A and B are shown apart, each in its own frame.
Chain A
Amino acid sequence: MTIDINAYLGAFALRDLRCNTPEALIALMDRKGIDAALVSHASAITWKDCHRANELLADEVTNESRLIPCAVLNPAYAGWERDLNTCAHDLGMKALKLYPHWHGYALGDPCCDAIVRAATDRGLPVVLPMRAVDSRQLGWLFDVPDLPAADIAALARRHPTARFVVVNGIGVAGSALAPSDGEALGNCWIEISRMSLFIGCEIPRLLDNPGPERLLFGTGMPFKYVDPVLLKLEKLCAPEEAKRMIAGGSARSLLGVAEG
């Protein structure tokens, strides 16, 4: 079973996206052999009241069991506690995604700690995109730095019972999240879409530490082409069981998704 932990629906503020409706995304998944996807709404990245995007997302995925909804909330915005309750209890959201630098706060701010605690109390993993868009491609309106791995690691250490998912990351191997000379943080899962299989060999290094049960398949669709990460999985020199774990086993455990 292949589960994409890093997918989106809806419009994005900075450029046109294809395959961003449920029907088109499902068709793309069928073409590429992806069984299920954790999806958030792309408009939530830039909307001030991003919970409105959660409501739209919930409507869109109502009849699509293969699309698992993921909330996006801004803990620096009014009413996030009530919105989180709605997402967890009424809208069936299975994870919470945060965009600190797009939403005007830092990973070290008290509001971030508060929403991580609240998500953990509700059983939701916290998804942290290291970036939404390559910083070289941002237009004149935005200058949004990536989330530093060290800041994510510090947050994860402050919340040892929380579960964190790092997506769109690079430079994780050897960072505070997965040190070269020590054990990787036990409460962090890492999505591999941007990481090198060859030359820099980041994926093989992460296969050693933290290991396949902490690695996740994700594509970034429909922002990104799917084939590059499919190639990485196909060409990865690893036992088939480890590859199955990355493709979907780790995500199934994390999200509580039933086989098939």
Chain B
Amino acid sequence: MRIDAHAHVAAPGHGEVEGDPWGRDKLMIQAADALEIDHLCCSCLAASRPSRPEQFIACNDQMRAAMDEFGNRLLGYCYVNPGYQKEAVAEIERCVTGMDFIGVKLYNEYKFYDPAVRPVIEKCIELDVPILHHAGHTWHPLPGQPFISDAADLARALVDYPEAKVICGHLGGGGDWEWTIKALRDSENLFVDTSGSVVDDGMIERAVDALGAHRMLFACDMSMCAGVGKILAADISQQEREMIFSGNTRKLLGGRI
């Protein structure tokens, strides 16, 4: 089984291809079919950020509609801007308890260790759902992302929340992956997804050696062949490959799949 732990459905009004409003998401499903990906854990991000509550609510409604459209192929993360604390917490409650979402997606509106994010982290602990966090560490500024969190920022926040379950997004799309692996090492409740277009040889093996396969989740973040190919290529045991492809995500989601 293969479960993509980091994917996206199109933002509201941005998914049309050749007149089909679901066209862009159908292309993702076609890719998943070809690459034997059974489930995709998706979020729907606002087309412009930082998002306001009405935007992230509309995105989550779009995510739910996509789950209805494509059946059990898609699982939904609830996307919020944690700066709107009251609205964000209410939206997480609405999505997880009322709409069957599996977790929360945070993007780059706030550093994860910012006190503004604490109510969201605490809500996720209460509901026992993971947070997938957009992340990256580069040595030159990323335009438009002054508050992007890196692995060390995630680890810093988790010192106070050892019971939280957080996924560091896109090891292969977040800049210096060697730095990221080292920064992740000491936080056992910090997982990493393998997504991103970067397919540097040795990346997966280095992460397995440093973190253990049990902390790694297969994902594509829309770089579909890159996502699958790097896991197939890695010189790891079959048991480790199966853990990464699906076992760890299934465990993290507490039997939801």
Binding site for B on A (CB under 8 A): 15-19, 134-140, 143, 194, 196-199, 201, 220-232, 235
Bitwise interface map of B from 27 to 47 toward A, beta carbon under 8 Å scored 1, else 0? 110110011000000000000
Q: Which residues of A contact B234 (CB under 8 A)?
A: 225
Known: A136-B138, A139-B139. A231 touches B35 (CB 8 A): yes
Q: Which residues of A contact B224 (CB under 8 A)?
A: 196-199
- Evaluate contact between B201 and A221: CB separation under 8 angstroms: yes
**What is the CB-to-nearest-CB distance from A258 to chain B, in angstroms, rounded to a whole number?**
30
Binding site for A on B (CB under 8 A): 24, 27-28, 30-31, 34-35, 136, 138-140, 142, 173-178, 197-202, 222-226, 228-230, 232-234
- Evaluate contact between B233 and A135: CB separation under 8 angstroms: no
Known: A134-B198, A223-B201, A231-B35. A139 touches B176 (CB 8 A): yes
Helix, strand, loop or mixed for chain A's interface?
A: loop
**What is the CB-to-nearest-CB distance from A238 to chain B, in angstroms, rounded to a whole number?**
13
- Evaluate contact between B233 and A228: CB separation under 8 angstroms: yes
- Evaluate contact between A135 and B140: CB separation under 8 angstroms: yes
Q: Which residues of A contact B223 (CB under 8 A)?
A: 196
Q: Which residues of A contact B228 (CB under 8 A)?
A: 228, 231
- Evaluate contact between B201 and A225: CB separation under 8 angstroms: yes
In the assembled complex, 28 residue pairs joining A and B whose CB atoms fall closer than 8 Å, in A order, are A15-B200, A17-B202, A18-B201, A19-B201, A134-B197, A134-B198, A136-B175, A137-B177, A138-B139, A138-B140, A139-B139, A139-B176, A196-B223, A196-B225, A197-B31, A198-B34, A198-B224, A198-B225, A199-B27, A221-B201, A223-B201, A224-B199, A224-B200, A227-B232, A228-B225, A231-B35, A231-B232, A235-B34
